[in-house]
Structure formats: structure tokens, C-alpha cells
């Protein structure tokens, strides 16, 4: 029972912890793309962490804003819409595998909230619920701009869902299963057997449709700032707006996780199979902790040695010291511990857990990379027009996806 | 059961992110496709022409900045020229060069803002910031020249207020050397972008006949294929001595006179302005910057009309003097007003997203419409 609860809570917590990090990444990424510095002012007792604390300040701001109900809005629909948007984004995570299943007393213990044998179908079923949140928000706030945004969202998401689903069919043919864990295991740890190599067109179509599904630029028509002001969430304020805001990033994480799982080997560490990881868990853990210690020492040394600059005349001036000394000490402690006690014996379960932790790290790195791609594209490209979007979806992407299915099936049957 | 349907009346503005100032459109729309966008002007009316009849001639100069605050130097220059024409005043040559330098810098930053805002309106935020970054550098130069960053109030009747500060021309030439590669980069990022081209080409096409009939001026007129530039065709100041090209739209990504042509004309005019500035800095003579003038200006009875090529095209000042220290009547003619007028005709049957592109590509600026 406890394990089930933990399995549900941990993925949820991971998303919730990734959200402020992503918002920070978006702001900082946008800033560096645009030749700016980005957020660097908000501080707690002088600690700014390069702007990460700004996300916290945002949360506080959004909580304390007035929660406005438009006079003519449908109260029920208006209230429920942001909850649908956020809930759908989080629930999708249930079936995504975080690491290879552990073998414990002869039974497999999968590291995902629910090990559904129709995982992909579940994701598409829940994912298509996401449009309700946006559509109801557009309809319920009784604003013409919101309405247009909601209309655009429903048309766009339904159109691109077809391509999204069809582009995965090739992957399913190779894996022979709808289970996400099987799909990942089928890809293996060899880079050349990942689905991005086996299904390049499918991967491209999936990534583009994922952009459209998450309403990110160049497909952010539902909230098109230039023409629809803010689109479907123009009337929302306070925490309801925060939910929409977080749902966008949660959707981004889900889309990134799906891209990584389906086409980039999921939790597979490149070129290192699960068996290898488990066999050599002890030295790998030893050297990675040692490396972590060395990195921490280097970072701490770099921060501590930085010239003390008096800029703000408050606690912020001591930030480098405040961050640098603990990092230095933690790093030294890690190194000393590793050297003094040597490689600790991990045992059967321990090596499995260490391998899983390593795979989880690889998966997280992949997710963050694709999130960065989302951000990168957003700050580079202009937006499509509504008719161009539909033309791309129905006349280009859908035929290509069908072609991909036919060709993949043909090749699979032939060989 | 029958389903009733009716046109939706969408109120766009006066506060809206893409109308660039307080402009209002009443849009009749059927979903995404709209049947008409009716412009509504007057939200930024400040009676500048009436103020011109109350102030004395020198006192009105700061108000001309506000007539078009994105291109204040050009507006300054036009007003100074009309009063000088009435007075029959000869402006020192150095002052004329300084005026042209200021005006061309102002044209560059006005076009930078226009092009950046256009990119922003089709959804790309980064080019806008890059354009503004360059604009800030020009603002620094202008601040060194006259102490102001937006409303310069630099030109005086009979000359200019300050001479160049030390090292000014080196700083400016240094900036131009750095700016040109930056501008190439901007073009690589924006002008060659497939989505950007798709959003702009064949959108809001204004034919040559329409452009002339609706009295479009400046870059908008030239984008429609009319080869007409006041700096060359009715020359004033020192423009006859300078070598520059008049950029005309050729419809390279679609039709002549579409939004992309209006965009590319502005992009290339920035390069022509750089050329003019380089010539000015190499030829600027020594000498006075202000002609000898009486303390109180009393132009003889009469009237004068002066046209200048502002950033948004033909900017005309019409002045009637009754011989007193104040103007009897002042009238300012600006380019954005006619640009605004043509939107109603061109926008019929457009998509909502294209209306935004059209407004941005016409570079209509609220203070210039209403004055």
C-alpha cells in the first residue's frame, strides 16, 4: 500500500519540482537568446541561485493576487477549466517508466505509477482530455478573445492529435506492444537501435505534433499574444492563472518525456545496458559520487575565490560565499568518505537501485534536453497563421504520417 | 432546429498589445475570417496644431517632438524649415549636416522599431529585442548629441541647438561599423525565415493605384512599386549632394505591395541611411551651427508649406503668418493618417492574425494619426 502511494506521489513531486526549474530555464534561456541577463534580483536572505528564486517570488505574487470572476462568466465552467488543464497534465505521467524494473524476490517491480499494458492508448486518451481545459476556459470566461482562443485550441489540438497518434504506429510495430516499458526495453541501449534512427520521419512528425499539442510556439495560436491578447486565459488571474501557467510547463515535461521514451530510448543510458550497469554498479556508484564530490569542490572553490564585489549593500553581496563554502565542504566530505571507506558493498538489491538511479538521471537529462528544445524553438520562430496551421496539419503531416505507417509496416513484413 | 448565426463584433483596442498605442478597431468577424475592420482614431488627440497658434515660434519646437515621438528629429526639421522659409533665413551648412545626421539616425531607429514590432506581431519576440538593443545604442549617441533619448528637441529655427560633442563622429562611425554585421544577422534570422515569409507574403496587398488614390506616403508607397522619395524628387537641405538609392518594392516573395515588401523596404532603407550617414560624417564642414536671429521671431505676412521625408513618409507643415509673434494657423500633415485610412479597404475578408500584420507593416503610429 505504502509502495503504491509512493509510486503515485513521487512522479507528481518530480513534475512539481521541475516546474519552477523549467520556468527559470525559460526565462534565462530567453534572456540569453535575446542578449539580456534575465531574472537575477529576487532573493531569500541574499541567496538568488542565479534567478531560480524568482520562480518562488512569482508563486507568492500569484497567490496574493485578487481572484477575479468576470461578471458574466459561467462560474462552474470558469472555475473547473484550470483544474482540468493541470490535472490532465499531471495524470499523464502515471504510465511513464522512470527506470528499468527492479527484480525483487522473483517478481518484477516496475518504476512507474501504473504499469498499464495499454500505456500509449492511455496517454492519448488522457492527452486529448487536455483540450477540454482550454476549450472550457475559452467558453466559460465569456470573453470574445477567450472564445476565439478556445476555438483555435480545439481545432488545433484535435487536428494534430491524429498525426501524433499515427506517427507512433511505426514505433508500436517495432515494439509489438503498447506498453511503454516494453517499448523502451525494445530500443536497447545501443544508440543505433533507438527509434529515432529506426523511425526518423515518425520522430519528426511526433515532435512537431507535440509542439502543437502543448500550444507552444510556433503553434501557440490559442494564446497568440499579438492578436488575441492572451487567448483562452485572458480573464484568469491569481492561482487560476497559475494553474494554466503550470499546466503549460507540465505539458512540456510530459511531451518531452514522451519524446524521450518513444524515440530516444527512455531510461536507457547510451551504450550501457541494464545488465552492465548492475554488474558494475559498485565502481560506477563509487566513481560517480567521487565525480560529484570533485564537481562540488570545483564549483565551491570557483565561487569562494570570486572577488568580493559590493554592489547591493545587503546580504546579496555575500551570496557567492554563502553558496560556495557549503558546496566546498560537502564536496570535500564526499571525497573523503569515498576515499576512507572505499567502494561500499552494494549487494543485489543495492546494485539494482543504484542502476535505477543512474537510469533515472539519464532519463531526467533527456527530458530537460527536450524541454530546452521547446524553449529554444519558442524564442526563435514566428507563429503560424490559423489556415497555415490547418494546411500543415491536414495536407502535409497527416499524409506523411500515413505514408510512414505504410512504409514501416511494409518493411517489417518484408524482412 | 435551426442554428442561428450572427457576425461577432470584436472590439480591438484602444488598449491592445498589437495596435501599438491607443488605436481602436471595430472588427466584424465570422470566426477567424473578418469581414471588415473599421479604424477609430482620436484617442491620442492633443491639439498640437492649436497649440502651435498659441505658442511663439521657438516655443512650439518641443511640441513637434510629440507629433511623432518615434521620429522626432524629422518632425523638428520640418517645422524649422517652414518657419525659415517664411523668414527667408539661410541656415549654416554645418547645421544642415547636423540636421541630416540626426534625421537619418532617427530614421534608422524608427525603422528598427517598426521592423522589430512587425516581427513581434507575427510571434517572434527575439528580433524585437535585438532591434531594440541596437536602438538603445543610437539613443545613447543621440543623448550625447542633444541630451535627450526620445523627444530630442534638437533642431532650432535657424540651425541646431548643440554642436557635436568631442569624438562624436568616431563614436558614430564605430557604431555603424558594428551595426552593419548585426543587421546582417537580423536579416538572416528574420527575412529568410520560412514562417515569417509565409505570414507576410500576399498579405494586405496594396496595389499601385490604391496606394496613390489613398495618398499613401513614404515606405508604404514605395513598397507598392511607386518610385517616389521626397529626399530625391523635391530635394531639401543637403540631400541633393548625397548619394543614396530609393528602395522600391518588387514583390520578391509574392505580390508587389504586400506586407513583405513593406517590411523589406524598411530593412533596406536602414542600409541607405547608413550610407548617407557615412557620407555626412566625411563631408561635414566647420562653421556656425546657428544663424544670426532676432530675439522675437516675427515672420512677414504670408504662408508657406514645406514637405519633408519623415520615417513614415511625407510630413508636411503648412504655416500662415499674420506678422505677429505667433502663427495664425499651423497644419501638420502626416503619413500614418492615410495609412490608417486604407486599412478598412484592405482588411476586408482577411483573417484576424493578418489584420495585426497589416497594421504593423503599415507602421501606423498613434501620435502621428491624431496629433
Its ipTM equals: 0.81
Task: Kindly indicate the confidence band of residue B67, based on its pLDDT and cuts at 50, 70 and 90.
Answer: confident
Which residues of B fall within a CB distance of 8 Å from A155? Answer: none
pLDDT at position A111 over 80? no
**Residue ranges per structural domain of chain B:** 49-362
Q: Which chain A residue lies closest to B192 (C-alpha atoms)? A: A381
Task: Kindly indicate the confidence band of residue A189, based on its pLDDT and cuts at 50, 70 and 90.
Answer: confident
The CA–CA distances, whole Å, from B111 to A1, A63, B105, B131, B135 equal: 66, 41, 10, 9, 10
User: How large a percentage of chain A has pLDDT more than 70?
Assistant: 99
Please say whether the beta carbons of A79 and A240 come within 8 A: yes
Cα end-to-end span (Å), chain A: 46
Q: Which of A35, A382, A385 sits opposite B354 (nearest CB)?
A: A385
CA angle B359, B313, B109 (to 5 degrees): 75
Residue A68 to chain B, least CA–CA distance (Å): 20
Residue A86 to chain B, least CA–CA distance (Å): 25
Please indicate whether, in this complex, the C-beta atoms of A225 and B199 are within 8 angstroms of each other: no
Q: Comparing C-alpha atoms, which of B289, B290, B343, B339 is closest to residue B315?
A: B339
Q: Which residues are paired to B333 by β-bridges?
A: B316
Residue A270 to chain B, least CA–CA distance (Å): 34
Which residues of A fall within a CB distance of 8 Å from B352? Answer: 148, 227-228
Please indicate whether, in this complex, the C-beta atoms of B17 and A381 are within 8 angstroms of each other: no
Taking only residues 8 to 27 of chain B, the set having a beta carbon closer than 8 angstroms to any beta carbon of chain A reads 8, 10-11, 16-18
State residue A199's pLDDT score.
84
Full strand arrangement of the beta sheet holding B313-321: B302-310, B313-321, B327-333
Please indicate whether, in this complex, the C-beta atoms of A229 and B17 are within 8 angstroms of each other: yes
Please say whether the beta carbons of A404 and A166 come within 8 A: yes
CA atoms of B56 and A195, how far apart (whole Å): 77
Which residues of A fall within a CB distance of 8 Å from B31? Answer: 148, 151
State residue A12's pLDDT score.
82
Mean predicted confidence (pLDDT) in B153-175: 87
pLDDT at position B21 over 80? no
State residue A190's pLDDT score.
79
Interval A248-305: pLDDT, tens: 888 888 889 889 888 888 888 888 777 777 777 778 888 888 888 888 888 888 887 8
Cα end-to-end span (Å), chain B: 53
Which residues of A fall within a CB distance of 8 Å from B124? Answer: 380-383
Cell numbers standing for residue B259 = 506586407
CA atoms of A332 and A338, how far apart (whole Å): 10
Of A138-147, A309-318, A373-382, B352-361, where does mean pLDDT reach its minimum? A309-318
Of A99-113, A139-153, A355-369, where does mean pLDDT reach its minimum? A99-113
CA atoms of A197 and A328, how far apart (whole Å): 42
A220 touches chain B (CB under 8 A): yes
Residue B173 to chain A, least CA–CA distance (Å): 23
Task: Kindly indicate the confidence band of residue A239, based on its pLDDT and cuts at 50, 70 and 90.
Answer: confident
CA atoms of A18 and A29, how far apart (whole Å): 16
Q: Comparing C-alpha atoms, which of B117, B180, B110 is closest to residue B142?
A: B110
pLDDT at position B315 over 80? yes
H/E element holding A12?
helix A2-33
State residue B297's pLDDT score.
80
Q: Which residues are paired to B156 by β-bridges?
A: B159
pLDDT at position A229 over 80? no
Mean predicted confidence (pLDDT) in B109-135: 88
Whose cell is 512677414? That residue is B300
Helices (H), A141-232: 144-175, 180-187, 195-198, 200-213, 225-228
Please indicate whether, in this complex, the C-beta atoms of A380 and B126 are within 8 angstroms of each other: yes
CA atoms of B363 and B219, how far apart (whole Å): 9
Residue A225 to chain B, least CA–CA distance (Å): 7
CA atoms of A223 and A215, how far apart (whole Å): 8
Interval A64-74: pLDDT, tens: 888 888 888 88
Whose cell is 563614436? That residue is B171
CA atoms of A148 and B360, how far apart (whole Å): 21
Of B1-10, B60-69, B204-213, where does mean pLDDT reach its minimum? B1-10
Mean predicted confidence (pLDDT) in A19-29: 88
Please indicate whether, in this complex, the C-beta atoms of A382 and B123 are within 8 angstroms of each other: yes
Q: Which chain A residue lies closest to B203 (C-alpha atoms)? A: A385
Mean predicted confidence (pLDDT) in A32-46: 81
Residue B366 burial (CB < 10 Å; 0-12/13-18/19+)? buried
Mean predicted confidence (pLDDT) in B108-135: 88
Q: What is the DSSP letter of B34?
A: E
B49-362 belongs to which homologous superfamily?
Cytochrome-c3 Hydrogenase, chain B (1.10.645.10)
Q: Which of A36, A217, A386 sits opposite B353 (nearest CB)?
A: A386
pLDDT at position A349 over 80? no
Mean predicted confidence (pLDDT) in B356-370: 84
pLDDT at position A318 over 80? no
Cell numbers standing for residue A277 = 550497469
Which residues of A fall within a CB distance of 8 Å from B353? Answer: 224, 226-227, 383, 385-386
Q: Which of B121, B133, B195 sits opposite A226 (nearest CB)?
A: B121
Interface A-B, measured as beta-carbon pairs within 8 A, has a size of: 84
Q: Map residue B363 onto helix, strand or coil.
A: coil
Residue A89 to chain B, least CA–CA distance (Å): 25
Please say whether the beta carbons of A404 and A199 come within 8 A: yes
Residue B26 to chain A, least CA–CA distance (Å): 13
Please indicate whether, in this complex, the C-beta atoms of B125 and A220 are within 8 angstroms of each other: no
Mean predicted confidence (pLDDT) in B232-238: 85
CA atoms of B130 and A324, how far apart (whole Å): 35
Interval B297-308: pLDDT, tens: 888 888 889 888
Cell numbers standing for residue A158 = 484535435
A217 touches chain B (CB under 8 A): yes
CA atoms of B113 and B130, how far apart (whole Å): 10
Q: What backbone torsions phi and psi does residue A66 show, to the nearest 5 degrees? A: -70, 140
Of A203-217, A334-348, B62-76, B272-286, where does mean pLDDT reach its minimum? A334-348
Mean predicted confidence (pLDDT) in A129-158: 85
Task: State the angle between helix axes of A200-213 and A398-414 in degrees (0 to 180), rounded to the nearest 10.
Answer: 150
Taking only residues 347 to 366 of chain B, the set having a beta carbon closer than 8 angstroms to any beta carbon of chain A reads 351-356
B24-30 vs B33-40, strand pairing mode: antiparallel
State residue B64's pLDDT score.
86
Please indicate whether, in this complex, the C-beta atoms of B351 and A152 are within 8 angstroms of each other: no
Q: Which chain B residue lies closest to A29 (C-alpha atoms)? A: B126
Q: Comparing C-alpha atoms, which of B45, B49, B91 is closest to residue B319?
A: B49
Which residues of B fall within a CB distance of 8 Å from A33? Answer: 126
Mean predicted confidence (pLDDT) in A34-39: 85
Q: Which of B11, B126, B133 sits opposite A33 (nearest CB)?
A: B126
State residue A220's pLDDT score.
82
Task: Kindly indicate the confidence band of residue B238, based on its pLDDT and cuts at 50, 70 and 90.
Answer: confident
Mean predicted confidence (pLDDT) in B76-102: 88
Mutate to test the interface with B, among A139, A154, A227, A389 (most CBs of B within 10 A): A227
Helices (H), A264-280: 274-279
Q: Which of A36, A381, A386 sits opposite B32 (nearest CB)?
A: A386
Cell numbers standing for residue B233 = 524628387
Q: Map residue B1 onto helix, strand or coil.
A: coil
CA atoms of B358 and B122, how far apart (whole Å): 10
State residue A219's pLDDT score.
83
Mutate to test the interface with A, among B33, B34, B123, B190 (most CBs of A within 10 A): B123
B171 touches chain A (CB under 8 A): no
Please indicate whether, in this complex, the C-beta atoms of A383 and B122 are within 8 angstroms of each other: yes
Task: Kindly indicate the confidence band of residue B292, based on its pLDDT and cuts at 50, 70 and 90.
Answer: confident
Whether cis (ω within 30° of 0) applies to the bond prior to A90 is no
Mean pLDDT score of chain A: 83
Task: Kindly indicate the confidence band of residue A136, based on its pLDDT and cuts at 50, 70 and 90.
Answer: confident
pLDDT at position A2 over 80? no
Of A104-113, A322-331, B180-189, B358-367, where does mean pLDDT reach its minimum? A104-113
Amino acid at each position: 500500500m505504502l509502495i503504491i502511494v509512493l509510486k503515485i506521489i513521487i512522479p507528481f513531486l518530480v513534475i512539481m519540482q521541475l516546474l519552477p526549474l523549467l520556468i527559470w530555464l525559460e526565462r534565462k534561456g530567453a534572456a540569453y537568446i535575446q542578449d539580456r541577463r534575465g531574472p537575477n534580483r529576487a532573493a531569500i536572505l541574499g541567496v538568488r541561485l542565479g534567478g531560480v528564486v524568482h520562480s518562488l517570488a512569482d508563486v507568492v505574487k500569484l497567490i496574493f493576487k485578487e481572484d477575479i470572476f468576470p461578471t458574466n462568466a459561467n462560474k462552474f465552467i470558469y472555475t473547473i477549466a484550470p483544474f482540468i488543464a493541470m490535472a490532465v497534465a499531471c495524470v499523464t505521467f502515471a504510465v511513464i517508466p522512470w527506470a528499468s524494473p527492479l527484480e525483487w524476490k522473483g517478481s518484477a517491480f516496475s518504476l512507474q505509477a501504473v504499469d498499464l499494458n495499454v500505456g500509449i492508448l492511455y496517454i492519448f486518451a488522457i492527452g486529448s482530455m487536455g483540450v477540454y481545459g482550454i476549450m472550457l476556459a475559452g467558453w466559460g470566461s465569456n470573453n470574445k478573445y477567450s472564445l476565439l482562443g478556445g476555438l483555435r485550441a480545439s481545432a488545433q489540438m484535435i487536428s494534430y492529435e491524429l498525426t501524433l497518434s499515427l506517427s507512433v504506429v511505426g514505433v508500436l510495430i517495432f515494439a509489438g506492444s503498447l506498453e511503454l516499458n516494453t517499448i523502451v526495453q525494445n530500443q536497447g541501449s545501443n544508440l543505433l537501435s533507438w527509434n529515432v534512427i529506426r523511425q526518423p520521419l515518425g520522430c519528426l512528425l511526433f515532435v512537431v505534433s507535440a509542439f502543437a499539442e502543448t500550444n507552444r510556439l510556433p503553434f501557440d495560436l490559442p494564446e497568440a499574444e499579438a492578436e488575441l491578447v492572451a487567448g483562452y486565459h485572458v480573464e484568469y488571474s491569481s492561482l487560476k492563472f497559475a494553474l494554466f501557467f503550470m499546466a503549460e510547463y507540465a505539458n512540456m515535461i510530459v511531451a518531452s518525456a514522451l519524446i524521450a521514451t518513444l524515440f530516444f530510448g527512455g531510461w536507457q543510458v547510451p551504450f550501457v545496458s541494464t545488465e552492465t550497469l548492475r554488474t558494475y554498479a559498485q565502481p560506477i556508484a563509487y566513481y560517480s559520487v567521487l565525480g560529484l564530490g570533485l564537481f562540488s569542490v570545483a564549483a565551491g572553490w570557483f565561487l569562494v575565490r570570486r572577488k568580493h564585489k559590493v554592489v547591493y549593500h545587503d546580504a546579496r553581496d555575500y551570496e557567492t560565499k554563502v553558496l560556495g563554502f557549503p558546496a566546498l565542504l560537502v564536496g570535500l566530505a564526499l571525497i573523503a568518505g569515498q576515499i576512507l571507506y572505499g567502494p561500499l558493498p552494494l549487494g543485489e538489491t543495492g546494485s539494482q537501485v543504484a542502476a535505477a538511479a543512474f537510469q533515472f538521471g539519464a532519463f531526467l537529462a533527456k527530458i530537460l534536453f527536450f524541454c530546452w528544445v521547446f524553449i529554444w524553438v519558442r524564442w526563435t520562430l514566428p507563429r503560424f497563421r490559423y489556415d497555415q496551421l490547418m494546411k500543415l496539419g491536414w495536407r502535409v503531416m497527416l499524409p506523411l504520417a500515413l505514408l510512414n505507417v505504410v512504409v514501416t509496416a511494409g518493411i517489417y513484413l518484408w524482412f | 432546429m435551426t442554428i442561428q448565426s450572427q457576425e461577432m463584433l470584436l472590439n480591438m483596442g484602444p488598449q491592445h498589445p498589437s495596435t501599438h498605442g491607443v488605436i481602436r478597431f471595430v472588427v466584424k468577424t465570422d470566426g477567424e475570417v473578418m469581414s471588415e475592420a473599421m479604424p477609430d482614431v482620436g484617442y491620442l488627440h492633443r491639439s498640437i496644431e492649436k497649440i502651435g497658434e498659441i505658442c511663439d515660434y521657438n516655443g512650439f519646437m518641443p511640441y513637434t517632438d510629440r507629433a511623432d515621438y518615434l521620429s522626432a528629429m524629422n518632425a523638428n526639421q520640418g517645422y524649422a524649415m517652414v518657419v525659415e522659409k517664411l523668414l527667408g533665413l539661410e541656415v549654416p551648412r554645418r547645421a544642415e549636416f547636423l540636421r541630416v545626421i540626426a534625421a537619418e539616425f532617427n530614421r534608422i531607429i524608427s525603422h528598427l522599431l517598426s521592423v522589430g514590432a512587425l516581427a513581434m506581431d507575427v510571434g517572434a519576440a527575439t528580433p524585437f529585442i535585438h532591434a531594440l538593443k541596437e536602438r538603445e545604442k543610437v539613443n545613447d549617441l543621440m543623448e550625447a548629441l542633444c541630451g535627450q533619448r526620445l523627444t530630442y528637441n534638437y533642431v532650432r529655427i535657424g540651425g541646431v541647438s548643440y554642436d557635436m560633442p568631442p569624438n562624436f563622429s568616431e563614436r558614430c562611425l564605430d557604431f555603424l561599423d558594428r551595426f552593419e554585421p548585426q543587421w546582417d544577422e537580423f536579416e538572416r534570422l528574420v527575412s529568410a525565415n520560412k514562417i515569417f515569409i509565409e505570414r507576410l507574403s500576399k498579405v494586405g496587398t496594396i496595389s499601385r493605384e490604391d496606394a496613390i488614390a489613398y495618398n499613401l506616403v513614404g515606405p508604404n508607397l514605395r513598397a507598392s512599386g511607386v518610385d517616389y522619395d521626397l529626399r530625391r524628387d523635391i530635394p531639401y537641405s543637403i540631400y541633393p549632394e548625397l548619394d543614396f538609392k530609393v528602395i522600391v518594392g518588387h514583390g520578391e516573395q509574392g505580390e508587389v505591395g504586400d506586407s513583405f515588401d513593406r517590411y523589406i523596404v524598411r530593412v533596406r532603407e536602414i542600409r541607405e541611411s547608413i550610407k548617407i550617414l557615412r557620407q555626412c560624417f566625411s563631408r561635414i564642414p566647420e562653421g556656425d551651427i546657428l544663424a544670426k536671429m532676432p530675439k522675437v521671431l516675427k515672420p512677414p505676412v504670408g504662408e508657406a508649406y514645406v514637405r519633408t521625408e519623415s520615417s513614415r513618409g511625407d510630413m508636411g507643415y503648412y504655416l500662415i503668418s499674420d506678422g505677429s509673434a505667433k502663427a495664425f494657423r499651423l497644419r501638420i500633415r502626416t503619413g500614418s493618417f492615410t495609412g490608417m485610412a486604407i486599412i478598412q479597404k484592405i482588411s476586408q475578408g482577411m483573417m484576424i492574425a493578418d489584420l495585426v500584420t497589416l497594421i504593423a507593416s503599415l507602421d501606423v503610429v498613434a501620435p502621428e494619426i491624431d496629433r
